Structure 1
Amino acid sequence: MFAEERRQQILQLLRQAGKVTVDELSVRFGVSAPTIRADLSLLEKQGLLRRTHGGALPVESTLYEPPYAVRELKNLPEKRAIARVAATLVQDEETVLLDAGTTTFEIALQLKQRRGLKVVTNSLAIAVELMERKDMEVVLLGGSVHPARRATLGELVLHALDILYVDYAFLSFNGVDVQAGYTSVDFEAAAVKRKMMQHARHVVVVADHAKIGQVAFAQVAPVQAAHLLIVDEGAAPEAVRAFEEAGVRVLLAPVT
């Protein structure tokens, strides 16, 4: 059996059983435990499963978020399409709040075309990307550094947001569902996102089609809390209609 075929069967077993162990996979496929661990590590890097001690779990867990390096490459053309549409909303000399995320990072790149912006963010990646722009002021929200998200979180971020109010807030979520609303994988991130939504004149949620219909652990807000939802054209038409029927304005971003 080829290695790729074995990995596909591992994913199939994981979907069927809900979990797998190194020992059982080693026996099933007749290969060593180090070989199975290497398979699981590769599949995790591809964002297809989550490693645990002695085995793996599906990525669909409401508590799981893939590593940043995996997320920044996943659905990249879609994220760039969404970012192009999002950036058209912003005019020169406005204030913008960017949540920490891979789609919002793409928005930051697009905003380099604007002049005189004041950009507030809890994203270390966005702050570093924009900090040398002479025609842009960057405000990094101080707080506890979360390495996996390349972001700041916690009470200090919440206190800083209490004294800010911006023209536009762009936010991304782990799950975007008509019934469950906007959701995140943990309470700490959810609290920051919720506060951001309360401190902007225009709240814009950005989500590639893979996030639509997904539900994560911690609810942030109902879908009506955003003024606009921007998704790529890969979103199912019936899903888009469901958001619109719930009172959410939706913009579709063409992927070119």
Structure 2
Amino acid sequence: MLVMNNVERHQFIMNRLQQKGSVNVLDLCKLLDVSSVTIRKDLKLLEDRQLLFRTHGGATLINPYTADRTVFEKERIQASEKTAIAREAASMITDNDSIIIASGTTVQAMAREIQPIGNLTVVTSALNVAVQLIKHPNVEILQLGGILRKSSTSVAGLYAERILSDFFCSKLFLGVDGIDLEFGLTTTNAQEAHLNRKMMEVSQKVIVLADSTKFGKRGFGRICGIEEVDRIITDKGISPHTVKALEGMGVMVTVV
């Protein structure tokens, strides 16, 4: 390959980003025959010009960091996809089941779709989930207590975590703000992430409900690694490459 000057190298990086959506430092080093120090300087300069976002080991065109938004804003985003995911998740509940439903707009949509045949016990941190289920006479709701996060209408903190230690449930239905193949599952709030981990400890299976916009994103609080999840339910917007990578990590992926 001919030696490129800075401008040509930057153009090459941007062209590859447009084609692939993301780039990797090591790949760029091989393609351009330059050091990783040079590539990292290039990526920093391009990020300073607001042309890309640097990530761990590379860069992307899409901002990988999620911001905390209210549940009322989130429920309008990807609404039809969330409903389809919610229906699939609700169909996994069995008669006389005991489940945990965490917080988020997709699990709230799931609560709307639940039509229990037998008795159902639900442990939840989310007030909006409890409100959706309270109309069913055969659903017993255990509402966790603690500090109420107004943006998510759910609780977090030590009180909620202590209550969880008294139970063991068949399934945890978990909503997230980001799924990164390297970093794992995240949410925008550290306390919520800690509560989600406690929920995982007292659940036989972990089922994640996430629309396709959540992939490649990172929130502030890390919940767990990908390999700790049993199943992910998402929509058709997910890339085949991501599905293959998740399945390679032992995760069952359901696309609706």
TM-score (norm: length of structure 2): 0.74
Work out whether residues 97 and 119 of structure 1, in 8 Å CA contact, stay in contact via their aligned partners in 2.
Answer: yes
Work out whether residues 186 and 217 of structure 1, in 8 Å CA contact, stay in contact via their aligned partners in 2.
Answer: yes
How much has 1:63 moved relative to structure 2? 6.0
Work out whether residues 64 and 218 of structure 2, in 8 Å CA contact, stay in contact via their aligned partners in 1.
Answer: no
Work out whether residues 185 and 226 of structure 2, in 8 Å CA contact, stay in contact via their aligned partners in 1.
Answer: yes
Q: Could you tell me which residue of structure 1 aligns to residue 203 of structure 2?
A: 200
Work out whether residues 178 and 246 of structure 1, in 8 Å CA contact, stay in contact via their aligned partners in 2.
Answer: no
How many Å separate the matches in 1 of 2:49 and 2:164?
44
How much has 1:114 moved relative to structure 2? 3.6
How much has 1:115 moved relative to structure 2? 3.0
Work out whether residues 127 and 140 of structure 1, in 8 Å CA contact, stay in contact via their aligned partners in 2.
Answer: yes
Q: Could you tell me which residue of structure 2 aligns to residue 71 of structure 1?
A: 74
Map Cα deviations across residues 74-114 of structure 1 (whole Å, 9 max, x no partner). Answer: 10111111111111211111011100110001111111344
Name the count of aligned residue pairs: 199
User: Given the superposition, is the C-alpha separation of residues 84 and 16 from structure 1 closer, same or farther in structure 2, using an over 3 Å criterion?
Assistant: farther
How many Å separate the matches in 2 of 1:63 and 1:88?
29
Q: Could you tell me which residue of structure 1 aligns to residue 14 of structure 2?
A: none
How many Å separate the matches in 2 of 1:172 and 1:152?
14
Q: Could you tell me which residue of structure 2 aligns to residue 213 of structure 1?
A: 216
Q: Could you tell me which residue of structure 2 aligns to residue 87 of structure 1?
A: 90
How many Å separate the matches in 2 of 1:200 and 1:114?
22
How much has 1:60 moved relative to structure 2? 4.4
Work out whether residues 121 and 141 of structure 1, in 8 Å CA contact, stay in contact via their aligned partners in 2.
Answer: yes
Q: Could you tell me which residue of structure 1 aligns to residue 115 of structure 2?
A: 112
* Correspondence 1:1-256 to 2 at 5 A: 60=63, 62=65, 64-253=67-256
Deviating 4+ runs (over 3 angstroms): 15-18, 59-63
- The aligned amino acid for 1:208 is D
How many Å separate the matches in 1 of 2:65 and 2:215?
14
Q: CA RMSD in A?
A: 1.8
- 3-state SS in 2 of match to 1:138: strand
How many Å separate the matches in 1 of 2:198 and 2:220?
18
Unaligned runs of 5+ in 2: 1-46, 51-61
Work out whether residues 64 and 217 of structure 2, in 8 Å CA contact, stay in contact via their aligned partners in 1.
Answer: no
Map Cα deviations across residues 155-200 of structure 1 (whole Å, 9 max, x no partner). Answer: 0011011111111100011111111111111210110111111111
- 3-state SS in 1 of match to 2:128: helix
- The aligned amino acid for 2:149 is H
How many Å separate the matches in 1 of 2:117 and 2:210?
23
- The aligned amino acid for 1:188 is Q
**Largest Rg, 1 or 2:** 2
- The aligned amino acid for 1:150 is T
- 3-state SS in 2 of match to 1:84: helix
How many Å separate the matches in 2 of 1:212 and 1:131?
32
How many Å separate the matches in 2 of 1:84 and 1:114?
15
Q: Could you tell me which residue of structure 2 aligns to residue 52 of structure 1?
A: none
User: Given the superposition, is the C-alpha separation of residues 61 and 241 from structure 1 closer, same or farther in structure 2, using an over 3 Å criterion?
Assistant: closer
